[in-house]
């Protein structure tokens, strides 16, 4: 994508919003209404962030969190994608899975943390399972809807050209459902990212972005907490815009299956 | 190229309000390399009949043969073009769409791209081989669909109102193009339309169907020389005759039947 004047204006507007919010925060922090330890000024947060990045601890926290989120997210795709397709293609699977999904979906993933800790103990198993739980349903439901939304004419045309079940699956159903599948991936990742931080607060030990925030509370290190929050937000933003935004641009946007929003 | 025999075919749909006779005891023979148009008002079962030949539906009674083989399900001896532009795969370029059938046949990549390009050239779209369907106009998309249906070399081409959603000017151009493509490939074509002028322009023979239940009313050979001139007196006369058989009495005066050699009742 080339940086058109339109795009620069958009970036400008986004920056202005962020700057306004930062200025408001800074005013409150400087005013002394709250103790400085609890509401650290932005330069202090920045300083802490640079230090944490410099000595490598922040990168290590990020690494642990990313590994957990990626494992859970990957499992969710490996289960949710095929299961969603099967649900849309086979009535019996839909009849079996749908009630289960409807019953489990409304339960917040974090509500499972204590149960999982009892079952699996503290550590990575619990966080990965929580991420899996959070990511699974958006993946499943979007895939299920996407496959049902595949234009029957494509299936008919492909069948007339001699496509067997395998070819129908890989060359028609998957690309045909891709706008929904990509939405599923996106939502699943957002849920994963939220869930991993929460799960780490309760179930992780020593490393992880969620853990570091929770741990900093013990020592009134609000600057560390704010620095970690910035990193969490930054990574989430990067995934949303760079990874999924690019994925969308090279697939469904390029194929005209979804349209770019007009400025 | 294969001939097609539709023999004593009936199709009954089961609907919530009871069975509906969509096709009633219909027999049509189509010669190899013949261009047959099926016309009739909506609901007369013309698309249903085409879907039976395509193998998307199975007849309740009767039999359809292509060449010497009875039709059971779809097969690569038939190419199908639908009315809806959305029939193309949006995630494949024009070339990718046209190679699809060859890919399913297991033709090697270089070979299938060569064949696909020659078919895109046949519909005058070789310059757009690498465009995605959403960048092509409706007429261009239908040309890609025709190239796609021809690329794996079926002996029969089945077309379900392929130009019905196009504007009049594009439709005329597409009809000329299709007549050329047919002359070049000599496929057996079954073409469903509700457009009388289109049927007279394209067909060797027109089958008129009537609804409730769908059955053949009459078959009219169109004996006009090709390429046909849609503005000639003979052409207009044929249209009048056809319209009269379709039940539009007002359009047809008491004109002599110039183009119709023999009217055969089924």
Same domain, B185 and B215: yes
β-sheet with B61-66: strand ranges across: B18-30, B4-15, B61-66, B69-70
Question: Residues B134-163: what's their mean pLDDT?
Answer: 94
Whether the Cβ atoms of residue B150 and residue B130 lie closer than 8 Å to each other: no
When comparing pLDDT for A259 and B157, which is higher? Answer: B157
**Exposed, middle or buried, B234 (CB in 10 Å: 0-12/13-18/19+)?**
middle
**Chain B contact for A174 (CB, 8 A cutoff):** no
When comparing pLDDT for A84 and B265, which is higher? Answer: A84
**Spatial distance between the Cα atoms of A50 and A230, rounded to a whole number of angstroms:** 12
Residue of chain A whose Cα is closest to the Cα of B131: A255
**Contacts of A140 by beta carbon, 8 Å cutoff, 6+ apart:** A79, A80, A83, A84, A87, A97, A101, A184
Number of folded domains that form chain B: 2
**Spatial distance between the Cα atoms of B28 and B207, rounded to a whole number of angstroms:** 9
pLDDT band of A206, cuts 50, 70, 90: confident
End-of-domain residue from the set B153, B179, B210: B153
Residue of chain A whose Cα is closest to the Cα of B57: A156
Question: Residues B3-28: what's their mean pLDDT?
Answer: 90
* DSSP labels, B165-177: TS-HHHHHHHHHH
**Spatial distance between the Cα atoms of B144 and B249, rounded to a whole number of angstroms:** 38
**How close B112 comes to chain A (CA, Å)?**
14
Same domain, B172 and B125: no
**Spatial distance between the Cα atoms of B152 and B119, rounded to a whole number of angstroms:** 10
Contact A256/B133, CB-based, under 8 Å?
Answer: yes
Same domain, B138 and B192: no
Same domain, B127 and B195: no
> Which B-chain residues 169-188 have CB contacts (< 8 A) with chain A?
none
Whether the Cβ atoms of residue B214 and residue B22 lie closer than 8 Å to each other: yes
Question: Residues B161-181: what's their mean pLDDT?
Answer: 91
Evaluate if pTM is beyond 0.90: no
In degrees and rounded to multiples of 5, residue A2 shows phi and psi of -85, 150
Structural domain includes residue B4: no
**Contacts of B43 by beta carbon, 8 Å cutoff, 6+ apart:** B211, B212, B214
Question: Residues A232-241: what's their mean pLDDT?
Answer: 90
Structural domain includes residue B12: no
Structural domain includes residue B185: yes
Cβ-Cβ contacts under 8 Å, B89 against chain A: 154, 157-158, 172, 175-176
End-of-domain residue from the set B105, B135, B153: B153
β-strand pairing of B4-15 with B18-30:
antiparallel
**Exposed, middle or buried, B223 (CB in 10 Å: 0-12/13-18/19+)?**
middle
**Spatial distance between the Cα atoms of B155 and B179, rounded to a whole number of angstroms:** 16
Residue B178 has pLDDT above 90, yes or no: yes
Cis before B78? omega within 30: no
Same domain, B163 and B265: yes
Does an H or E element contain B28, and which? strand B18-30
Residue A6 has pLDDT above 50, yes or no: yes
Residue B250 has pLDDT above 60, yes or no: no
For residue A205, the model assigns a pLDDT of 75
**Spatial distance between the Cα atoms of B240 and B253, rounded to a whole number of angstroms:** 8
Provide the mean pLDDT of chain A. Answer: 91
Structural domain includes residue B37: yes
* Partner residues linked to B220 by β-bridges: B206
> Which B-chain residues 62-101 have CB contacts (< 8 A) with chain A?
74-76, 78-80, 82, 84, 86-87, 89-91, 100-101
Same domain, B38 and B160: yes
Same domain, B185 and B256: yes
Residue B255 has pLDDT above 70, yes or no: no
**Chain B contact for A158 (CB, 8 A cutoff):** yes
Instruction: Look at residue B202 and give its three-state secondary structure.
Output: helix
**Spatial distance between the Cα atoms of A137 and A184, rounded to a whole number of angstroms:** 9
Nearest Cα residue to A134 out of A216, A221, A199: A199
Structural domain includes residue B19: no
Residue B248 has pLDDT above 90, yes or no: no
The total of other beta-carbon atoms located within 10 Å of residue A167's CB is 17
For residue B264, the model assigns a pLDDT of 44
Nearest Cα residue to A233 out of A81, A49, A80: A49
* DSSP labels, A154-215: HHHHHHHTT--HHHHIIIIIHHHTHHHHHHHHHHHHHHHHHHHHHHHHHH--S-SHHHHHHH
The radius of gyration of chain A from alpha carbons, rounded to an integer in Å, stands at 22
End-of-domain residue from the set B153, B175, B191: B153
Instruction: Look at residue B218 and give its three-state secondary structure.
Output: strand
Complex confidence, ipTM: 0.84
Residue B56's CATH number? 3.40.50.300
Residue % of chain B over a pLDDT of 90: 70
For residue A198, the model assigns a pLDDT of 92
pLDDT band of A37, cuts 50, 70, 90: confident
β-strand pairing of B61-66 with B4-15:
antiparallel
pLDDT band of B261, cuts 50, 70, 90: very low
**What domain range is B241 assigned to?**
26-77+154-266
**How close B261 comes to chain A (CA, Å)?**
36
Same domain, B245 and B255: yes
Contact A161/B78, CB-based, under 8 Å?
Answer: no
pLDDT digit string, tens, across residues B1-13: 789 999 999 999 8
Question: Residues A140-156: what's their mean pLDDT?
Answer: 94
Same domain, B67 and B114: no
Same domain, B160 and B219: yes
Torsion of CA A10, A13, A19, A25, to 10 degrees: -110
- For the stretch A95-103, contacts whose Cβ atoms lie closer than 8 Å and that sit 24 or more positions apart, written own/partner, are A97/A140, A101/A137, A101/A140, A101/A141
Q: In chain B, which ranges are continuous DSSP H helix?
A: 46-54, 94-105, 109-122, 138-151, 168-185, 196-202, 233-245
pLDDT digit string, tens, across residues A154-199: 999 999 999 998 999 999 999 999 999 999 999 999 999 999 999 9
Same domain, B69 and B199: yes
- Number of cross-chain residue pairs from A and B with Cβ atoms under 8 Å apart: 67
Same domain, B261 and B171: yes
For residue B260, the model assigns a pLDDT of 44
For residue B214, the model assigns a pLDDT of 87
Residue B266 has pLDDT above 50, yes or no: no
For residue B258, the model assigns a pLDDT of 43
The percent of chain B in helix, strand and coil, each rounded to the nearest 5, is: 35, 25, 35
């Amino acid at each position: 994508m080339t940086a058109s004047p339109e795009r620069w204006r958009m970036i400008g507007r986004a920056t202005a919003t962020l700057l306004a919010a930062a200025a408001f925060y800074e005013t409150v922090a400087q005013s002394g209404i709250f103790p400085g330890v609890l509401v650290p000024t932005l330069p202090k947060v920045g300083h802490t962030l640079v230090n944490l990045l410099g000595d490598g601890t922040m990168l290590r926290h990020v690494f642990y969190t990313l590994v957990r989120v990626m494992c859970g997210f990957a499992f969710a795709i490996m289960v949710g994608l095929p299961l969603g397709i099967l649900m849309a293609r086979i009535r019996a699977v839909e009849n079996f899975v749908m009630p289960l999904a409807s019953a489990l979906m409304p339960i917040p993933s974090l509500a499972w943390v204590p149960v999982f800790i009892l079952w699996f103990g503290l550590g990575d198993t619990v966080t990965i399972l929580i991420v899996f739980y959070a990511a699974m349903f958006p993946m499943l439901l979007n895939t299920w809807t996407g496959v049902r939304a595949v234009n029957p004419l494509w299936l008919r045309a492909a069948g007339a050209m001699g496509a067997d079940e395998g070819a129908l699956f890989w060359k028609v159903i998957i690309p045909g459902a891709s706008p929904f599948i990509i939405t599923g991936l996106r939502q699943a990742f957002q849920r994963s990212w939220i869930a991993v931080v929460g799960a780490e607060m309760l179930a992780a030990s020593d490393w992880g972005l969620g853990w570091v925030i929770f741990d900093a509370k013990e020592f009134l290190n609000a600057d560390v907490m704010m620095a970690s929050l910035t990193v969490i937000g930054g990574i989430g933003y990067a995934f949303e815009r760079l990874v999924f935004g690019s994925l969308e641009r090279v697939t469904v946007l390029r194929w005209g299956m979804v349209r770019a929003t007009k400025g | 190229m294969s001939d097609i025999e539709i023999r004593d075919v009936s199709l009954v749909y089961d609907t919530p309000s009871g069975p509906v006779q969509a096709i009633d005891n219909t027999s049509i023979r189509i010669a190899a390399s013949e261009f047959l148009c099926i016309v009739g008002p909506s609901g007369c079962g013309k698309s249903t009949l085409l879907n039976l030949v395509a193998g998307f539906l199975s007849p309740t009674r009767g039999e359809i043969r292509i060449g010497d083989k009875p039709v059971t399900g779809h097969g690569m001896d038939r190419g199908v073009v639908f009315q809806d532009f959305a029939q193309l795969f949006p995630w494949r370029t024009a070339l990718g769409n046209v190679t699809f059938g060859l890919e399913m046949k297991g033709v090697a990549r270089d070979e299938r791209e060569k064949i696909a390009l020659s078919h895109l050239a046949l519909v005058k779209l070789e310059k757009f081989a690498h465009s995605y369907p959403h960048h092509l106009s409706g007429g261009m998309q239908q040309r890609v669909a025709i190239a796609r249906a021809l690329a794996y070399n079926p002996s029969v081409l089945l077309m379900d109102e392929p130009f019905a959603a196009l504007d009049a000017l594009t439709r005329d151009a597409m009809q000329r193009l299709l007549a050329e493509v047919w002359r070049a490939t000599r496929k057996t074509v079954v073409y469903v339309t509700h457009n009388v002028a289109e049927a007279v322009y394209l067909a060797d023979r027109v089958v008129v169907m009537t609804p409730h239940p769908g059955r053949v009313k009459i078959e009219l050979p169109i004996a006009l020389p090709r390429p046909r001139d849609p503005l000639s007196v003979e052409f207009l006369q044929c249209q009048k005759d056809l319209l009269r058989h379709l039940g539009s009495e007002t359009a047809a005066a008491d004109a002599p039947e110039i183009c119709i050699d023999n009217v055969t009742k089924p």
